[in-house]
Structures are given as C-alpha cells and as structure tokens.
Amino acid sequence: MRLILLGPPGAGKGTQAGKIAKKYNIPHISTGDIFRANIVNNTELGILAKKYIDNGELVPDGLVMDIVRDRIIQDDTKNGFLLDGFPRTLEQAMALDEMLINSNMKLDAVVKIKVNLDLLVTRITGRRICKECGATYHVDFNKPKKSDVCDLCNGELYQRSDDNEDVVRNRINVYIEQTTPLVEYYTNRDVLKIIDGEQSIDDVFNQIVKEVE
C-alpha cells in the first residue's frame, strides 16, 4: 500500500499516520519528523531547515527531494509506505511521480484530511509530543493520563518550536498558497479521497481504512 496524507497543519496527519502505518505494516515517512530529528542532532541539513521551519515557511524543494529519494528506496518500503507532509508543492508532486515511474511503483491513494481552518490553531497550540517515542497528544482533545508524561513510554512531553500562534497562522497561509493546488493535481489522477477530519480520531481512522481498501 502506497499512500499520501494531505491536509493543513493540525489536520491530524501525524495522528492518523501512526495508526495506518501500524495497521498496514508500512513505514510512516514524515518529512517534518526527518527535519526535526536532524535539528536535534545538529546536522548540516537540520541547521539549514530550522530557519524555514521556525518561520513556518517551506524548506526548499531540492533539500526535501533528496531526503525522500533516499528514504523511499530503503528496504522497509517493500510493502509500501505512507508519506505524511510530502509532497507539499506541485514541484514535489511532479518529482515524486517521476521517482515512482522510475521505480515501477504506483500510488494507491492520496488521503486528504479536511478540517475547518479555524479549528487548526486550537489543535496546534494545544498539541504536546513525546520526546522519546513521538506520540502526539492534545491538552484538551487527546489528554495523556498524567499531564506532560507519555502514556506509552513515560517520556516527557514537549511543544514544537513552530507550534505558537503566529507561526501557525503563517503555516496555514503557506498551505493554502503552495499545497492546495495538489488537490486538483491528484483529483485529475483519480486517486484523491477526502476524509472528514472533524470526527473523533478513531472515526477518522475508520473512514480512511474504508476509503483505501
């Protein structure tokens, strides 16, 4: 199964990706997570990416493509993969198509998680993430049992540096300008599935499974 998750910041891509990856036994490939791991490790890529991410701008296409190209040919992608937060521009989508053709691979579905824009800021500013395992919580909508501690691994929860209100508003605008053209792009390829992302986390998941199978 080869899937793409599309949707604005805070739509629930990461939350659903964890569940989908587990169900279909495919790797969850999040370009955002890859950048954040590079920032933590202070790599050259991390240093370059950080200034874009902290302003809510997109990292240049060239850097993103290098990462994805390396990642989707690794051994664990034999059963497929789930791309979260990539592609985000038409250039990235076209480059991905070319990579897939060259490797004789085909996309099964592009799942767009649709959420009203005014819900996104609340979702993002209340998000907390586990430092150890990356599990995602929300202070109101998906509370950990003990505040600031991960239910799964007891790790400490933190807030992303780009999860403040100003940066979130810019991320939403960047999404509207640069990523929404992909909706038409994938509609024309007959692979787009639109999911109502305002349901409970489990209901969103069940709807995705129904649409992709």
Contact residues: Mg ion, CB under 5 A: 14
Residue 201 as a binder of ligand AP5 (CB under 6 A): the answer is yes
Q: Does 20 bind Zn ion (CB under 5 A)?
A: no
69 flagged as catalytic? no
Q: Does 56 bind ligand AP5 (CB under 6 A)?
A: yes
Out of 2, 13, 50, 123, pick the active-site residue: 13
Among 40, 152, 176, 209, binds Zn ion (CB under 5 A): 152
Q: Is 128 a catalytic residue?
A: no
Bridge partner list, 156: 149
| 174, 56 contact by CB (below 8 A) | yes
What's at 143, amino acid-wise?
A: K
- Does 36 qualify as catalytic in the annotation? no
Does the active-site annotation cover 88?
yes
With CB under 5 A, what is the number of residues at the site for Zn ion?
Answer: 8
85 binds ligand AP5 (CB under 6 A): yes
Q: How far is the CB of 159 from ligand AP5 (least distance, A)?
A: 10
Q: Using CB under 6 A, pick the residue from 2, 3, 6, 10 that binds ligand AP5.
A: 10
Which is closer to ligand AP5, CB of 3 or CB of 31?
Answer: 31
Which range touches ligand AP5 (CB under 6 A), out of 96-104, 150-158, 180-188, 196-204? 196-204
Stretch that binds ligand AP5, among 19-27, 29-37, 73-81, 146-154 (CB under 6 A): 29-37
Look up residue 155 and give its DSSP letter. P
CB of 25 to ligand AP5, least distance (A): 20
Question: CB within 8 A of 141, min separation 6: which ones?
Answer: 123, 126
Q: Which of 171, 145, 144 is nearest to 160 (CA)?
A: 171
Let me know: does 2 contact 103? Beta carbons within 8 Å. no
- Beta-strand runs (E) in 58-169: 81-84, 109-114, 127-130, 136-138, 157-158
Strands (E), the chain: 2-6, 28-30, 81-84, 109-114, 127-130, 136-138, 157-158, 192-196
